[in-house]
Structure 1
C-alpha cells in the first residue's frame, strides 16, 4: 500500500510562490506568447505582404542594419543606457531616504505616504507624456497658448522652469544645464513611489529586537543602519534595483522606444523594428542577469541557515 507523501515546509513555501506567479504565467501563455515569438521570427524577416502578413526570411540583415547601416539606433541606445545608469542610483538613494523618514513615528505619516505614492496613480504613460509635452495635441496647444506647436510646448513647459531673474546672471549654456538638471530631478522624484513602498515594507520587516540589542550594546544609529538595517533590507534593495532598471529602460521619455515605434508603425518596416526591439530586450535581460549574479550573493533572507 502506497504511503501518502507529505510536503516539507520548504516545499509548501515554494508552492505558495508558484501560486502567486500562476496568473502571470497563464496571462503570458494566453495573450503574450504568440506575439512574443512572432516578433522574434519577424526580426529575421521582412514583410512582403502587409495585408496577408507574409514574411520573407532575410537572416541577420535587420540586426546588422541596426548597428552598421542605421545612424540613429546606436546613439539613442547609448543615450537610454546613460540615462538609466544615472537615474537608477539616484532613485534608489532618494527612495530609501524617504522610506526611512516615513517609517518613523511621525504625525500625519499616512498623509505623506499618500503624497509620495500619488505620482504612481497619476503617472500613467499618457499623463506623463502630456506633462512632459511630448504628445500634446496641436489644436489643444493652440487653444491654450495661442501659439504654434513648438512655441506652445515651450510656453507650457516654461511654467516649471528656472526663474528668469535667476537666469539673467547666468550664461545661456549654464541656464540650460541647470534647467535640464531640474527637469531630470523632477522626473526622478516622480518615478520613486513604488520604490518607496517596497523599502517601507522591507524596513517594517526588520525585527525590533535587533535594534534593542544593538542599543543596549551602545551602538549608534549610524552603526545600526550599516550593520542591521542595510543587510536586512537587501532583498528589497535587489527587488528595487531590478524594478528601477526595467522601469527606467521603458519609461515614457525613452527615445529608443519612440524610434522603434516610428520605424515599425510609421515607416512600416516591421522586421527592422522587431530586430531593434529584440536587441533592446536582450540587453535588458543581460543587465538584469548581471544584477542578480552580483547582488544576489549579498542578499540576506530571514530564516536562512
Structure 2
C-alpha cells in the first residue's frame, strides 16, 4: 500500500519551522542566557564593578522605577505617546505610497529606491557615524530643517507646533522604507482577476480599495504594525533606550537598568499581545478554508 503523502497544511507548517529554525538556534545560543541573566540581575544591586559583587534587593529596583525615579515615568509615557501617534501615521503613509508605486508610473524604480534608502543609511554604524560627525543632525533627529529666522516671526507657541509637526514628518519619511516594501509585496500578491471581475460589475476604484485591497492587505497591515511598534520602541535614538543604557554603563547601576528594561519589555510584549487579540477577527487570510 502506498503511504499517505504529506498534506499541504503540514508542508506549510514544516516550511515555517525551517524558516524560523536559524532564528530559534541563534536565540538559544546568544540571547537566552543574557535575557535570563538580566532578569536575575534586576533583583540585585551591583556593589563592586571590578569583581562584580551583587546584593539582593528583591523588588527594590522596580519600586524605585515607579516611586523614586522622577525621570522614568514621564519619559516612559512620552515614548509610548510618540509610538502610538507615529505608528498609524507611518502605516497610512506607507500604504498610500505603496499603492501609488504599485501602478505603472514613470520612475517607479527610482522612487522605490529613494524610500528604502533611509533603511540602508539609517541603521547601525552608518547612522552613528553620520550623527557623530554632525551631518544634518538637527534635520535627521529633530525635524525638517527650517531657518531660525522663520521661527522668530511665528512666536513661541506656533513655532513649537510647526517644529513638532516637521519632526513628526521627518520620522514618517525616515521610517517607512520597510513598510512600503512589505505593502508592495502584499499588493502584488493580490490576483488581478479580482479587480477585473469587480470592474465588470461596475465597481469604482474607491469601492475596490475597501472591498478587495484593504481586506486582503490586513495580514500585511498586522505585520507592519508589529514591525513599526518594535522598531519605534527599540530605535537607536529612543530616549527610553538611551536612558536605560546611560543608567547601566554611565551610572553603573546595572541592576536598576535591568529592572527598567524588563518593565519596558513587558509593556511592549503586552501591547503586541493586545494588537494580536484585538485584530484577529479582522485579519483576512485567503488560504483559510
TM-score class normalised by the smaller sequence: over 0.9
Distance 2:234 2:287 in 1: 35
Contact 1:161 1:179 in 2 (8 A): no
Contact 2:42 2:256 in 1 (8 A): yes
Matched position secondary structure for 1:187: helix
Distance 1:128 1:209 in 2: 43
Query: Which residue is 2:206 aligned to?
Result: 222
Per-residue CA deviation, residues 53-90 of structure 1 (Å, 9 max, x unaligned), is: 33322111110110001110001100100100110000
Distance 2:142 2:154 in 1: 17
Quick check: 1:239 aligned with 2:240?
no
Q: Which moved more, 1:155-164 or 1:171-180?
A: 155-164
Quick check: 1:299 aligned with 2:283?
yes
Q: Which moved more, 1:6-15 or 1:225-234?
A: 6-15
Contact 2:143 2:169 in 1 (8 A): no
Query: Which residue is 2:116 aligned to?
Result: 117
Distance 2:142 2:165 in 1: 14
1:114 deviates by: 0.8
Contact 1:128 1:252 in 2 (8 A): no
Query: Which residue is 2:48 aligned to?
Result: 49
Query: Which residue is 2:96 aligned to?
Result: 97
Paired residues, what number?
289
Quick check: 1:208 aligned with 2:192?
yes
For the structure 1 residues 59 and 155, does the alpha-carbon distance in structure 2 shift closer, same or farther, using more than 3 Å as the test? closer
Per-residue CA deviation, residues 191-217 of structure 1 (Å, 9 max, x unaligned), is: 100000000011011111111111011
1:296 deviates by: 1.8
Q: Which moved more, 1:247-256 or 1:17-26?
A: 247-256
Matched position secondary structure for 1:55: strand
Distance 1:244 1:272 in 2: 27
Query: Which residue is 1:272 aligned to?
Result: 256
Query: Which residue is 2:16 aligned to?
Result: 17
Distance 1:154 1:113 in 2: 25
For the structure 1 residues 165 and 274, does the alpha-carbon distance in structure 2 shift closer, same or farther, using more than 3 Å as the test? closer
List alignment gaps of at least 5 residues for structure 2.
none
Quick check: 1:85 aligned with 2:69?
no
Query: Which residue is 1:188 aligned to?
Result: 172
Contact 1:238 1:296 in 2 (8 A): no
Per-residue CA deviation, residues 109-165 of structure 1 (Å, 9 max, x unaligned), is: 11111111111111014544566x5xx3xxx66xx9xxxxxxx97799899532456
Given the two structures, how large is their TM-score scaled by the length of structure 2?
0.92
Contact 1:120 1:193 in 2 (8 A): yes
Distance 1:165 1:35 in 2: 50
Q: Which moved more, 1:152-161 or 1:254-263?
A: 152-161
For the structure 1 residues 155 and 178, does the alpha-carbon distance in structure 2 shift closer, same or farther, using more than 3 Å as the test? closer
1:50 deviates by: 2.7
For the structure 1 residues 168 and 263, does the alpha-carbon distance in structure 2 shift closer, same or farther, using more than 3 Å as the test? closer
Distance 2:191 2:248 in 1: 52
